Structure 1
């Protein structure tokens, strides 16, 4: 008898957790009281279920006792389910705008754990330019796009991804100190732009900004990638990147 009751309780918890995932995907923002009412359970039960989803990366909180919204696992699973080609299609006008304005190679990147994947690129038109990187995976903290996305994460989610605070560099210029990375991410949050100065590859620099969905969650980043010798002589790269991000977000918000 006890085994039957225990089995029913487990199935009920699984069912409620799955319903919470669907609610998070649909509503994008969910409070404990709302979750309890919608599931027909006690607030303590709703809080326990949401805390479990948060612990596994399916939900995040911007602050203690705050509302929950989709976490990186749910976002990344959703991107995989719909296919990255959809994100690439949405980003295409923004990428083309950014390439035409800067004449440099531009990229669309997505955060995957502690890494960033280049989901799409358009090569620049200058005679000396950075080549295409589509499909390449690099450590997020060693790229402009990755740092832009890390800066856009809630602090609790950032610390969940780096519980030990250890950072492995890719070049001598890479940031390997957690304190230094935190300071840089704070600057990115304040200014909206992230920079990479030969931190991922020697001779290559970049500027990037995060693209957010309607809830403010980061879903991708746009970047301009340039030979290091041109980084200091192209002051308009940052403004062009932010303008392209706005173009992308306008399209994104109409479908998400």
Structure 2
């Protein structure tokens, strides 16, 4: 059986070599991967207002893969039983939660499990891109992800696991450092300097590993290089031992990228020479997607 390397995003420092899923938002992982004692569980932030509390409950259902009792849910969100029961009843009335009367447990409802229409461009893109991602995985043996840029956020549309015993696992929303991930660098590369400054904040940027670039001049120079060559590399930038190589997904003669395709694997399995070869393969895959996925035309209005 393959064992998943859990990532909140490619190149993320929130990584575990266990089979347990690790959520970046409520677990602090040690920078030294041999030091497991410094992992600290964080409580979710206090939610105020019915909407915020309802969303807090939905986050629990999105994260868990088992039915949950009222007590379990209340404990997860740190709210009293009566408040949680009232919120669950409202969510159930609108199709977001289902109650199993036999076990008195709660499950995510149809609207929570599949909020988008089956004909939504995102679902269509997932189907259209699958064979391309699988082909790229087969040629590299590494994990491949299709990422869509939604404003300044990075959404994983789909991914295929690599052929190695340890393979990265992607969360739907990438929150890895922009300056430490291939997808983040590709997102920033086509932005103006003003937009980059706004998204990155003031330098020096957080130094996640010894390889992380923290100064504006050096980082912006690399982003300009990415823009010229069409691909980005993040080797050990956000987590020691991981490399991510990504190519931008963009219609020809347009200056706004829709997203990217990213390969993630172990740094020692990809030589510096192989970086260019893999980047070329990913660029060929993105070109194929642009030419063969009709849903990308509909998604152009998103960027």
TM-score (norm 2): 0.51
Deviation at 1:101, TM superposition (A): 1.5
Please tell me whether the aligned partners of residues 108 and 221 of structure 1 are also in contact (alpha carbons under 8 angstroms).
Answer: yes
Distance 1:251 1:183, change over 3 A: same
Secondary structure at 2:264 match in 1: strand
1:254 & 1:120 partners in 2: Cα distance?
Answer: 14
Matches within 5 A, 1:167-186: 167-186=205-224
- 1:234 equivalent to 2:271? Answer no
Change (3 A) 1:122 1:246: same
Q: CA deviation at 1:162?
A: 3.7
| Runs of 5+ consecutive residues of structure 2 not aligned to the other structure | 1-119, 298-303
Describe the superposition over 1:165-200 as per-residue Cα deviations: whole angstroms up to 9, x where unpaired: 552243332221111110110111121120011112
Aligned match of 2:257: 218
- 2:234 matched residue in structure 1: 196
Aligned to 1:130: 167
**Counterparts in 2 of 1:120 and 1:254: CA distance versus 1, 3 Å:** closer
Tell me how far 1:231 sits from its aligned partner. 1.8
Quick one: structure 1 residues 245 and 138, their matched pair in 2 at CA, closer, same or farther if it must change by over 3 Å?
same
Displacement of 1:207 after TM fit?
0.8
Structure 2 CA distance, aligned partners of 1:175 and 1:112?
25
Change in CA separation of 1:200 and 1:193 when aligned onto 2, cut-off 3 Å: same
Q: Say whether the 8 Å CA contact 2:189–2:226 is kept in structure 1.
A: yes
Between the aligned partners of 1:216 and 1:145, the Cα distance in structure 2 is: 17
Count of equivalent residues: 174
Structure 1 unaligned regions, length at least 5: 1-81
Cα gap change, 1:254/1:106 in structure 2, threshold over 3 Å: closer, same or farther? closer
| Contact persistence 1:111–1:149 (CA under 8 A) | yes
1:98-154 CA distances to partner (integer Å, 9 max, x unpaired)? 112211111122345665443422111234x43221324212221012112211234
The structural deviation recorded for 1:87 is: 3.6
TM (norm. structure 1) is 0.59
Q: Deviations over 1:211-230 (max 9, x none)?
A: 01463311111111110101
Q: 1:140 to 1:94 in 2, by over 3 A?
A: farther
Q: How does 1:69-218 map to 2 (within 5 A)?
A: 82=120, 84-111=122-149, 116-127=154-165, 129-135=166-172, 136-162=174-200, 164-165=202-203, 167-213=205-251, 215-218=254-257
CA distance change for structure 1 residues 167 and 99 in 2, over 3 Å: closer, same or farther? same
1:246 matched to 2:287? The reply is yes
Tell me, what secondary structure is at the counterpart of 1:101? helix
Alpha-carbon separation, structure 2, partners of 1:161 and 1:245: 25
Q: Secondary structure at the match of 1:118?
A: strand
The two structures, once aligned, show a CA RMSD in angstroms of: 2.6
Residue 208 of structure 1, CA deviation: 0.6
Query: How far is the alpha carbon of 1:252 from its aligned partner?
Result: 4.1
The 1:157–1:244 alpha-carbon spacing in structure 2 relative to 1, beyond 3 Å, is same
C-alpha distance in structure 2 between counterparts of 1:170 and 1:206, whole Å: 15
| Cα distance between partner residues in 1 of 2:293 and 2:247 | 15
